[in-house]
Amino acid sequence: MIWFLIVQYAITPIFPRFTDSWIGQLLMLQDFTHINNLMHFEYTIVQNYIHRTKSERPT
């Protein structure tokens, strides 16, 4: 519970600045806090990719 509070209130607000720093770029960190529902976003991306590759495949 304490770890959640630390991450939620101390680390999350500064995470976008950390990802833009040189160490964040070195570690290839990405900030997904602007995406409200990450699971739905990933699902939609995968479904679009599958649909696009099926339509591009020769039959």
Span 49-58, average pLDDT: 83
Rounded distance between C-alpha atoms, residue 48 and residue 36, angstroms? 19
Q: Where are the domains of the chain?
A: 2-56
pLDDT, one tens digit per residue, over 29-38 is: 888 777 888 8
Rounded distance between C-alpha atoms, residue 2 and residue 44, angstroms? 34
Rounded distance between C-alpha atoms, residue 41 and residue 27, angstroms? 23
Span 42-51, average pLDDT: 94
- pTM, two decimal places: 0.46
Span 45-50, average pLDDT: 94
What local confidence, expressed as pLDDT, does residue 42 receive? Answer: 92
What local confidence, expressed as pLDDT, does residue 30 receive? Answer: 84
pLDDT, one tens digit per residue, over 1-21 is: 899 998 889 888 888 888 899
